[in-house]
Structure 1
Amino acid sequence: MAKKRNSRLVAAEIIALWMENQSFPDRQLAKVQNDHAFILEVVNGVVRNQNIFQWLERQWLKKSPQPFFRAVLEVGLYQLLFMENVEQYAAISETVDAAKGRPGGPGNAKMINAVLRRAQREGEKVFQLLEKQPAHIRLSHPKYLMDRWTRQYGEAAAIRLAEWDNHPPATVLRIEQSAIDADEFKEKLREGGIEAEVHPFSSYEIFLQLPRGIAVKKVPGYSEGWFTIQDPATSVAVDLLAPRPGEAVLDACAAPGGKAAMMAGRMKGQGELVAMDLHDDRIAVLQENQKRLGLDWMEIVRGDARKPQALDGRTFDAILLDVPCLNTGVLRRRADARWRVDEERIGKIARLQREILDAGAGLLKEGGRLVYSTCSLEAEENEDLVAEWVQEHPEFVLEKTEKSFPPESGVDGAFAALIRRK
């Protein structure tokens, strides 16, 4: 039987990979088999608090360690400064051990041990000093992003938004009411010892917030397709599109499939529902959820939303374009996304979004409707882009927009615009 790996080491390896090449931590986290909840919290916590750790390292170290040893150090710092349910002795001991097996390990392990002992002694002082730092440091967001939000929403709202991003996200599930009655499902949860609360955002769809620490695959009804995991903000775009039974409907950027499942429920299995995505790994996720939810009548197509030749010239009554975006409305779920926002990337992503909107609009039937949506809060991806596009395309009309600002809505950030072909 293989020896269980040091979970601090596993977390540090994922973080070091992210530091070195900006790889997506969630892809590595999906491969973790043991201590998943602990490693997930540590990895996301370290990535989220980069500005704080770098500020602290500037105070305490003469030079920054190599990425792997810096990752190990920050794994230890996160446990000592931010995790209340971790035994400090074990946090220090196992974190130091994680550093020892690499070239240069003994010397770096000694440095890490000294810094962690200091953090253990001076933790309260660290937070007192941190309170005096600028907002982008104490709230660990890029200064560029904090400045943008301050200009767009005002200083107080920008701070509230950054504070929201730093709270661990709740796990929320949407009941598949075509598979099970809501009251029956809640009773099944209670029988399984799970007391879930109805999310206040629930209306047409019923969302339940799970207690912390519940493994999703162990929730009653997972294999039977009784629910999907998704934030209530996902319903904003589907509510605007309002797909109906008998229509031809396209979800052009569909993976992982939560919105497609929501649309399938509203169509009651009647009509044509096509879920399209580009990459094989995302198609695999779509297929897995299709099977689990019993959506055999939904068609899955591998295709590029910018050049949808895979659809063979078909047209649709309703199209959802949930386009790739900067994710600034979901930074509490995508801790790494905050560090990828800059002027160049905003321009690049906006050009991609316009290409998808151009292509999607060409697939609409006369009188058909389209919802353009993002989980971003940036005007260049949302209001400004849509207004400019509609002005350039007089055969379309912008009927309505919706926006979720997390500190006010209590759900993820989202934007959706309903556009109709005249």
Structure 2
Amino acid sequence: MTRPSPANPRIPPRQARDAVAQRLADRCRCFPDLPLEPMDVGGLDDREQALARAIDHAVTRHWLTLVAVVQSRLSRPWEELEPDLQAILLTGAAQLLTMDRLPDHAVVNHAVEWTRRHGQARAAGLVNAVLRAVVRLRAGHETPAAGAAIGEVDESAQRSTFPLSDGRLAQLHEPVFAREPVRRLAQRTSHPEPLLHEWINMFGVDQATRLAWHDVTQPPLLLRRDGDPSAASETPPGTRPHREPGCLIYTGPHGGLSRLLEAHPNLSVQDPASAIPVTLTGGLRPALIVDLCAGLGTKTRQLARLHPEARIVCSDADPARLDALRSTFRGSDRVAVLAPGDLLRFAGQCDLVVLDVPCSNTGVLPRRLEARYRFNAERLAELVSLQRGIIADGLRLRAPGGSILYATCSLEPAENERQAAWIEQWHPLKRANERFTLPQGLPGADPAEYRDGGYAALLGPV
């Protein structure tokens, strides 16, 4: 099926596709250990940057889906292809299957040309044949009611469609996805099978399926408004209300966000689930708070507003984030930024120690596209060990009678409830409050329904 060309088409520039293909060639060499870093689009103009990011996001969001489709057109295993060939086939298939208004001939011709330019002249014919076969396989896009496609019972329909982030289903002329249900779900939603089996064991098949579809969603940019969420307040331009009180959806242009935040200092970029952990500390009156894994300082700012009488010290083990914290809180008379090694001066003095620890990110996979591919039992065990080391560091800072706030953006019990239980087992602390939040929102649904997932536990003295 040939996609009709739009009126007055503007052929996307070669430079954007080149940039994506080169980035993906590097990433194919290390898959599934994809680094959690944004694409460098320096040197591209605005239109090229937008196209490059769109292709890169489409590949990363649908990686395993695209591999399954391309594999169905190959005569040899995907794993036997060189990384450069994998990269250009992913680049081309993502455009052909998930993106509109890109002429097929421009996509295929660029892929063939790129292959030749990178010393793979003999493979150019394979690239041409496979991508043209993908064009013939493509049957178009369908827009079902939000969430309706999850309930499909027809195996043939499931084997020949996959969800897009806007709620449409990409349709194929023939079934290419696996007959086995879990593998089929893994291929259609681009999740590793071990992660889906983990969720099925925890939540059951229906909820695991909803979580997998949730992760295909393009997440909205959400803002939190400080103050009484029930109080009437005008909705700033470029935003609309979220169903969570005190939360707004940003709908303005990309360049307008910084201006909006400057004009409305009570707004900050934060998902409702991310705001929950700090709210658990509302009943405390700490004089000294240490935010040990402060990241970009979102929870630090929330702590400062919730506890106006407290002195706050924040830190992060990542040098770039530590520099960002210093910039954010430069000149503050209440928030000090220190390197991790300098925190020992507060040993035994902190009334509240906040541990928003590194985790598997399984509650925020729409925002951390690469994280799903990194999930396996070995990495989970490494994270649990890392988290316990951070917990031990935090406990050294806690004052007698002080509290620990432990938080993740994970859905995994090993990183959540079991860590809280481990603290209780070895230290005179008990959970005073605890919240587990499942992600909400599906492709094509109202962004006002969207929410990340995560866990938080406030532990105080026994």
Quick check: TM above 0.5? Answer: yes
Q: 1:295 to 1:80 in 2, by over 3 A?
A: farther
Tell me the residue number matched to 2:191: 141
Secondary structure (helix, strand or coil) at the match of 2:268 reads strand
Counterparts of 1:258 and 1:98, CA distance in 2? 42
Query: 1:240-266, CA deviations, whole angstroms, 9 ceiling, x for partnerless residues?
Result: 123867721111100111111111222
Matched, 1:48 2:61: yes
Find the counterpart in structure 1 of residue 37 from structure 2. Answer: 26
Q: Matches of residues 132-281 of structure 1 in structure 2 within 5 Å? A: 133=179, 134-175=184-225, 183=233, 186-187=235-236, 189=237, 194=238, 196-202=239-245, 206-211=246-251, 214-216=253-255, 218-222=257-261, 226=265, 227-242=267-282, 247-268=287-308, 270-281=309-320
Residues 77, 378 of structure 1: alpha-carbon distance in 2 compared, 3 angstrom cutoff: same
1:120 aligns with 2:172: no
Encode CA deviations 1:372-418: one digit per residue, 9 max, x unaligned: 0100001111112211321222x111112101111388411100011
Q: Residues 267 and 406 from structure 1, CA distance in 2 versus in 1: closer, same or farther, beyond 3 angstroms?
A: same
Cα gap change, 1:8/1:68 in structure 2, threshold over 3 Å: closer, same or farther?
A: same
Q: Distance in 2 between matches of 1:324 and 1:382?
A: 12
CA deviation profile, 1:60-113 (whole Å, cap 9, x unmatched): 123443212311211111111112354444433444444343122x34344323
Deviation per CA, 1:118-153: give whole Å up to 9, x if none.
222221266351566421122221111111111110
Give the SS at the match of 1:68. helix
DSSP-derived class of the 1:355 partner: helix
Deviates more, 1:91-100 or 1:397-406: 91-100
Task: Give the corresponding residue for 2:88.
Answer: 72
Q: Which residue of 2 is the match for residue 83 of structure 1?
A: 99
Structure 1: distance between partners of 2:326 and 2:14:
32
- Specify the SS of the correspondent of 1:221: helix
Q: Please give the TM-score of this superposition, normalised by the length of structure 1.
A: 0.85
> What letter matches 2:414 in structure 1?
E
Q: What is the rounded CA distance, in whole Å, between the counterparts of 1:396 and 1:74 in structure 2?
A: 50
Residues 1:12 and 2:21 are matched in the alignment: yes
Q: CA deviation at 1:210?
A: 1.9
Query: 1:129 aligned to 175, 178, 191, which one?
Result: 175
**Contact 1:243–1:249 (8 Å) recurs in 2:** no
Equivalent residues in 2 for 1:88-107, closer than 5 Å: 88-104=104-120, 106-107=121-122
Matches within 5 A, 1:277-288: 277-288=316-327
Cα 1:353–1:218 change in 2 (3 A) is closer
Runs of 4+ in 1 over 6 A off after TM superposition: 243-246
Query: Could you report, residue by residue, the CA deviation over 1:195-246 in whole angstroms, capped at 9, with x for unpaired residues?
Result: x2222223xxx321123x8315555334567343222211111111238677
Amino acid aligned to 2:92: G
Q: Which residue of 2 aligns with 1:38?
A: 51
Q: CA 1:55/1:23 → structure 2, altered by over 3 Å: closer, same or farther?
A: closer
Tell whether the 8 Å contact from 2:70 to 2:130 is kept in structure 1 after alignment. Answer: no
Q: SS of the counterpart of 2:296?
A: coil
Mark the CA change 1:218 to 1:323 in structure 2 (over 3 Å): closer, same or farther: closer
Aligned to 2:430: 397
> Is the alpha carbon distance of 1:36 and 1:421 closer, same or farther for their aligned partners in structure 2, counting shifts above 3 Å?
farther
Q: Which has the higher contact order (CA 8 A, sep 6+)?
A: 2
Q: TM-score, normalised by structure 2?
A: 0.78
Give 1:290's match in structure 2, choosing from 329, 336, 346.
Answer: 329
Greater shift after overlay, 215-224 or 409-418? 215-224
Deviation at 1:421, TM superposition (A): 2.3
Tell me, what secondary structure is at the counterpart of 1:145? helix
Structure 1 residues 338 and 323: CA distance shift in structure 2, 3 A: same
* Deviation larger for 276-285 or 384-393: 384-393
Task: Note if contact 2:286-2:351 (Cα within 8 Å) is conserved in structure 1.
Answer: no
Question: Which consecutive unaligned segments of at least 5 residues does structure 2 have?
Answer: 1-12, 140-159, 161-170, 442-448
CA distance in 1, matches of 2:401, 2:192: 43
Unaligned ranges ≥5, structure 1: none
Secondary structure, in 3 states, of the residue corresponding to 1:418? strand
For residue 361 of structure 1, the aligned residue among 389, 395, 404 is 395
The letter of the residue matching 2:269 is: I
Post-superposition Cα deviations, 1:165-190, rounded to whole Å, max 9, x if no partner, equal: 01111111234669xx9946x44x2x
Instruction: Note closer, same or farther for the CA distance 1:329–1:148 as it changes in structure 2 (3 Å cut).
Output: same
Tell me the residue number matched to 2:4.
none
Structure 2 CA distance for aligned equivalents of residues 210 and 398 of structure 1: 35
1:166 counterpart SS class: coil
User: C-alpha offsets along residues 251-309 of structure 1, whole Å, 9 cap, x if unaligned?
Assistant: 110011111111122233x3311111112111122234335xx74531111116xxx75
Q: Which of 314, 317, 320 matches 2:351?
A: 317
Q: How many residues align?
A: 398
In 2, Cα distance between equivalents of 1:132 and 1:349: 31
1:94 and 1:242, CA in 2 relative to 1: closer, same or farther beyond 3 A? farther
